[in-house]
Structure 1
Amino acid sequence: MTSDRHVNAARSKVFGEVAELYDSARPGYSDAMVTEVLAYTVLGDRAAVEVGAGTGKATVPFAALGIPLVCVEPDARMAEVLRRNTASYPNVRVEVGDFEQWRPGGRHYGLLFAASSWNFLDRDRRWDLVHAALAPGGAMALIRNPHGIHDGGLRVELAAIGDRHGITGSPHRFLACDLSGDKPGNWDQAWPDTECRRDGRFTDLRSVRFRQNLRYDTDRYLGYLASLSAYRILPDDHRDQALAEAGRLLDAHGGGIDVLQVTDVFLARAR
């Protein structure tokens, strides 16, 4: 039987197939989130390390503030776009490889952050790896961007398309009101707070949520869907059909979709 570890590792490598689409269609991260993370962090003269940096959606707002960054990205195709997006920031270094095989080489960091990549890491090793990379008192920030759909009828129809084509982890599970609370983590993936407390090597645990309403036109939303691992792992014909059906539906509903984008942040500090 294929383990969750191997499934997650495989899914983490599918984004490079559509690296340019990922970069153009995926939403970014708010300045307020970056401010919150840096207010919590005591960097001193230490650099930050980003795990699963992708094309730099979260990298750029940190880099623009002059934060020295080491970006670990498992897919060379994603790293190529990342290098282009950070070319004007000499404080950014990109290292290609899996975080599980990456070695700090004696370096200890003041901040480690992972934006939408934590769930792809080896669950048996990720807390050990984070703790080993951080200096005492160093901060970790785990960041996710789930969204909820404002139109309940549209959500039901989009979810039905996903069900017909065997899409697991569909982004159409939630209404905006499902994510309206102040407490992060009321979505499909387990919030890391409990796991972190059980580990015991971290302190000062905090959870923060930010919100913004976004409007996607049909083409951009289809690009967003096509960049998700749940769609990338489908056979090509199933994916194409699912996207075509979603496109017709969105065009019939005014040519786009309104969503509530939330940014959930988990913060902890190495003891």
Structure 2
Amino acid sequence: MSSAERAEVVPARVFGEVAEVYDANRPGYADELVAEVLDYARLGGSSAVEFGAGTGKASTLFAARGVPLVCVEPDARMAEVLRRNTEGYGQVRVEVGGFEEWQPGGRSFGLLYAATAWHWFDPDRRWELVHERLRPGGAVALFWNPHGVLDEELFRRLGEIDRRHGVAGSPHGQLAHWYDGAPGTGSAADAENWPAAEAGRDGRFTDLRSHRFRRQVHYDTERYLGFLSSISTYRVLAPEAREAVMAETARLLDARGGGIDLLHVSDLFLARRR
């Protein structure tokens, strides 16, 4: 599957069909991360644009700080929930569109950000489009929420379930101590997607920075299954396969106290258009 096909199929058809579940169960982002982004961006009243806004997990945090914001989301069902979540903020505009196809209509922005969405964008075009949409000196902020399991025995047994059902890339696929290092380190996928090297090679961006924020979270079984049901690696399974892996995961979590403790990581990359 090409990057363009992946960007069309997964966000538009997989997440949108569970928009309410996504909104209820996906974790948000650290307040410290938002503060770091805004301190770096120095907007001074300039607008920001968010791509892959989803249901507003990041949008509401920026909106609550008074940022004039355009939220761009490719799936109309996700955008409907996003509008509901941001309707109390008069300075927020929601537009339906994909990262590659969206047209700014002569607008430029002091901040462009993407929350757990950058990896869906066309790698051959994304830095060019970021450059076009930012005013000179404007900031780009890219961030993700990886997780690490604190209980090594639970990690091992969940991994066995995932392998039996052909699941890869679940939130419990890493151990917490893997995230003791620098931002962008942890799993192989984290390192592969970390944007610092791409931005450095591009040459049109400067002042590259990386930050990592950590906190421990607990999910009871029901909420954790809701979280898993919003993850693309589960959404692409056949319904009967998804039901089977969810049931087996639930039995294990219930047998081990009724939930799971995770290290919740927020990794942030910042750069500035020259």
CA distance in 1, matches of 2:6, 2:67: 33
Partner SS, residue 169 of structure 2:
coil
Cα 1:254–1:54 shift into 2, 3 Å: same
> Do 2:70 and 2:94's aligned partners in 1 also have CA atoms closer than 8 Å?
yes
Please provide the CA RMSD for this pair: 1.1
Amino acid paired to 2:138: G
Name the structure 2 match of 1:74: 74
Displacement after TM superposition at 1:125 (Å): 0.8
| 1:82-231 correspondence runs (5 A) | 82-187=82-187, 188-189=189-190, 190=192, 191-231=194-234
Q: 1:101-121: CA deviations, max 9, x gaps?
A: 001111110000100000011
Displacement after TM superposition at 1:160 (Å): 1.5
> Do 2:50 and 2:113's aligned partners in 1 also have CA atoms closer than 8 Å?
yes
1:253 pairs with one of 241, 251, 256 = 256
Name the structure 1 match of 2:269: 266
Amino acid paired to 1:146: P
Amino acid paired to 1:108: S
Q: 1:34-70: CA deviations, max 9, x gaps?
A: 1000010021232000010000000101100110000
> Do 1:185 and 1:264's aligned partners in 2 also have CA atoms closer than 8 Å?
no
Instruction: Confirm whether residue 61 of structure 1 aligns to residue 61 of structure 2.
Output: yes
Displacement after TM superposition at 1:170 (Å): 2.4
Displacement after TM superposition at 1:182 (Å): 3.9
Name the structure 1 match of 2:8: 9
Amino acid paired to 2:69: L
CA distance in 2, matches of 1:183, 1:97: 30
CA distance in 2, matches of 1:226, 1:43: 36
CA distance in 2, matches of 1:183, 1:30: 14
CA distance in 2, matches of 1:76, 1:185: 34
Taking structure 2 as the reference length, the TM-score comes to 0.96
Instruction: Identify unmatched segments of 5+ residues in structure 1.
Output: none
Q: 1:67-90: CA deviations, max 9, x gaps?
A: 000000000000000000001000
Further displaced range: 73-82 or 2-11: 2-11
Name the structure 2 match of 1:240: 243
The alignment covers a number of residue pairs equal to 270
Taking structure 1 as the reference length, the TM-score comes to 0.97
Structure with greater helix percent: 2
Q: Report the identity percentage.
A: 59
Further displaced range: 259-268 or 180-189: 180-189
